Amino acid sequence: MRVLVVGKGAREHALCWRLNQSPVVWGLYCAPGNPGTKQIAETVAIEVMDSVALAAFAREQRIDLTIVGPEDPLTTGIVDEFQRQGLTIFGPTQAAAKLESSKTFAKEVMSAAKVATADWTAFDDASAARDYLSERGGNCVVKADGLAFGKGVYVCHCEAEALAAIDDLMVRKLFGAAGDRVLIEDRLAGQELSFFALCDGTIAVPLGSAQDHKPVFDGDQGPNTGGMGAYSPAPQFGAEIDARIMCEIVEPVLAEMARRGSPFCGVLFVGVMIEGNSIKVLEFNARFGDPECEALMMRFETDVAEVLMAAAKGDLASGPTPRLSSRSALSVVLASGGYPATYAKGFPITGLDRIEGGAASDAKVKWALEKTRVKVFHAGTAIRDRVLLTDGGRVLVVSALADNLKRATEAAYQAADMIEFEGKHLRRDIGRKALKAAAEILKESA
């Protein structure tokens, strides 16, 4: 099988890494890729938004399966273009990807499918939004209706914060046209969970869950980012929660999308808030999350190429059942100083050879790495004059797989500390909530 992965971040590096281990994949390409994917796949100098050129490449190279990583090409119709040319591609059509590209559309689908979510009101006018806030108060969530790189959500504690969010999105246009319409929602209490289901347009199978950490600083402080780290699975949520999400959310939404004539094929990423017995949807994404994908790929045991091919062909029932390891995975993002606001690029990165080359000298670090599987995925890097440099807000994602979350956490952070570049920033509390929950579960069962 010849496979093309579209994208250039850590998510796509993780997909390529897992695909490279498949016995059925003998040709692997990544467009445009990055220095990490270049080690395991042939990189192709075509940008993710050039659907016509990508389809032409896939046709010329006789690509059997194309896998789309980022949301932008999905929401602008790359799947439609490939399908018009008779090419097999994994991901939703432009119409189905509206579950991510329009939060208003997603809310309407949830309403029709009787899926629980926060109460909401949409506004196309900033003055009307401000008037509404003056009446209802500012304890709310303000969201850009469109795509905002995971950063267009403002959790507000007071009216001043909510008004500032309206100004950012609708007046200052920090995220462009994504903020032409905003949603003002009730704030939900509880714990967030990212759940992933593989869909073929008719049926869905669970891929597992993870917990992402959006705010840039420890303790969930600061502005939202594309994600600062994730772990999988979440020990505080078991198989019962997974089953409920499939039954109460995924299956009704899949049926509603089919009823509308836009069957959903691809990865349905369901962000939920859980409090007690209540499960409510925060948002949908139409692709693998990042950095959740890195943690999931660490745990993935089934041949990912065969699983995604079955979904792309609308025939999950005849494909292999996705299976994830019972072990724990944790991913930590190493970001540029200043991210998600202004940051500098072009700083040399050192220390990767100590991890991937097994040159750790410290006995404790060496023991931790030997007891786990550690992999560093490239997110925003570049090579110039044979030197690896920072080239994005999120630079690297250090991922570890171990027998338990505590060991995975230790190994990921020990490896992260071996990597250096000017301005390196990372959260130090990825996994802390889960470790606390796991300790409480053990205490209760004792």
For the chain, what percent of residues have pLDDT higher than 70? Answer: 94
Distance CA 90, CA 288 (A): 11
Output the CA–CA distances (angstroms, integers) from residue 432 to 162, 239, 445, in the order listed. Answer: 29, 21, 20
Burial 165-189 (b: 16+ CB within 10 A, else e): bbebbbeeebbeebbebbbbbeebe
Write out the DSSP string of 327-363: SEEEEEEEE-TTTTSS-----B-B-HHHHHTT---SH
Per-residue pLDDT tens for 260-303?
A: 999 999 999 999 999 999 999 999 999 999 999 999 999 999 99
pLDDT (tens digit per residue) in 187-239: 999 989 999 999 999 999 999 899 999 999 999 999 889 999 999 998 888 88
Assess contact for 226 and 215: CB atoms under 8 A: no
Q: Which amino acid is at 172?
A: R
Tallying the residues shown for the chain, one arrives at: 446
Going by the DSSP 8-state scheme, the letter that residue 247 receives in this structure is: I
State the pLDDT at residue 441: 54
22 CB neighbour count, 10 Å cutoff: 17
Assign domain 2-90 to a CATH class: alpha beta
Same fold: 189-318 with 328-445: no
Nearest to 255 by CA among 89, 99, 112: 112
Domain at 189-318, CATH class: alpha beta
Using one digit for the tens of pLDDT, what is the confidence trace for 422-440? 999 999 999 988 887 666 6
What is the token pair recorded at 287?
């692709």
* 177 pLDDT higher than 90: yes
In 3D, which of 265, 211, 199, 204 has the Cα closest to residue 236?
211
- Report d(CA 392, CA 389) in Å as an integer: 10
β-pairing verdict for 140-144 and 65-68 = unpaired
Calpha distance 273→286 (Å, rounded): 18
Classify domain 125-180 by CATH architecture: 2-Layer Sandwich (3.30)
* The residue type at 198: L
Q: What is the pLDDT of residue 148?
A: 86
Task: Report pLDDT for 77.
Answer: 97
Residues 6+ apart with CB under 8 A from 12: 5, 6, 30, 33, 34, 37, 69, 70
> Rounded to whole angstroms, how far apart are CA atoms 286 and 54?
20
> What Rg do the C-alpha atoms of the chain give, in angstroms?
21
In CATH, the architecture of 328-445 is Alpha-Beta Complex (3.90)
What distances in angstroms separate CA 377 from CA 20, 281, 396, 398, 438, one per listed residue? 14, 29, 6, 6, 27
> CB atoms < 10 A from the CB of 405, how many?
23
Every domain of the chain and the residues it spans: 2-90, 125-180, 189-318, 328-445
Cis before 348 (ω within 30): no
